Amino acid sequence: MRIAAVGSALPPHIYDQDALIEAFRKHWAERHFNLDRLEQLHRNVLVGGRHLALPIEEYDELTSWGKANDAWIRVAEEVGGRAVLQALDRAGLTVSDVDCLIFVTVTGVATPSIDARLMNRLGLKPGVKRIPIFGLGCVAGTAGIARAADYVRAFPDEVAVLLSVELCSLTLQREDLSIANLIASGLFGDGAAAAVVVGENRRAAGPRIVASRSIFYPDSERVMGWDISENGFKIVLSAEVPEVVRRHLRGDVDAFLADHGLSRGEIATWISHPGGPRVLEAVQAALEVSDDALEIAWRSLREVGNLSSTSVLLVLEETLRARSPEPGSFGLMVAMGPGFCSELVLLQW
């Protein structure tokens, strides 16, 4: 089983953090909010700019969750389709080669789901097995790779495509002045990424998927997630996230690697979800790795922000493009998300 290629697609509406801060200052000034505190929170997340699903002036027209979700469906089809086509092209495949399409998101809802809508848009064959997954949040990029690997393990002649679309800007709660929502408004961005995973009977040049592991932490539901109401998705984002990382990640990774006769020192390539500065610092401390080991994750955070499940796939895409790990060397994909939980995927080049 191998990851044959990764593709991505970001909306064309790009804004630097200064422009976004100014827009939020104008909006929340009407509520007599501490605007200097807002700006400090947005600076602290170290995001330089983000891609937005819509031109910034159109967000004032999203006066209901229904309107925001309609925009989510429209843009998700567009960027999702482009990401799938780019990934297939890089893998030397076409839509006729796809046997399974896994779709992950946590920022919008649709029935028929986005994967079904892409069947028509992309001309996928009618027999494609579709697996839409909602609710895994930031962990879903790594979890989706693991589930795609499970699929092609059962069907070694087949091709699975994982598609992640996260349009976080369309979940913004304009009336929520909680610290969690203010941080989220400065941290999260929009985009899509797709990964092509092929069975062992197909030729591919990408890394081999050796194994995966899911770890669930009991009684941790309020660490991260959504509260869903008539107004849409309200962020749940506990300050405990970095502490949960420090408490669990090292032991989880060590136990997983030990089961495969490996240690952290034998991992040459780390592919981590860039949750935010404090989370990345906690990951780095837990794994006891150098600054360079997570450099791509840090760069992704600075350049486009946190794209929930899409982000770790962007880090994987850039790793495949720029790093060229040594043949035979090992890599580890790491992400954590709502549950609270971890997903680990062991790779070998």
Catalytic annotation, residues: 138
- Between helix 140-154 and helix 309-322 the angle, nearest 10°, is 70
Half-sphere exposure of 330 (CA within 13 A, CB side): 15
Distance separating alpha carbons of residues 264 and 329, to the nearest angstrom: 12
Distance separating alpha carbons of residues 265 and 104, to the nearest angstrom: 32
- Between helix 65-90 and helix 114-122 the angle, nearest 10°, is 50
Distance separating alpha carbons of residues 332 and 344, to the nearest angstrom: 7
- Report whether 209 contacts 347 (CB < 8 A): yes
For 127, counting Cβ atoms within 10 Å of its Cβ (0-12 exposed, 13-18 middle, 19+ buried), the class is exposed
- Report whether 172 contacts 127 (CB < 8 A): no
Residue ranges of E strands in the chain = 2-9, 13-16, 49-52, 100-105, 129-134, 159-167, 190-198, 208-216, 224-229, 232-237, 267-272, 330-337, 341-348
For residue 11, give both structure tokens. Answer: 């909306």
Cβ burial 271-287 (10 Å sphere, 16+ → b, else e) = bbbbbbbebbebbbebb
> DSSP code of 328?
T
Smallest Cα–Cα separation from 97: which of 86, 110, 88, 109? Answer: 88
Query: What is the Cα Rg of the chain in Å?
Result: 19
- Report whether 227 contacts 208 (CB < 8 A): no
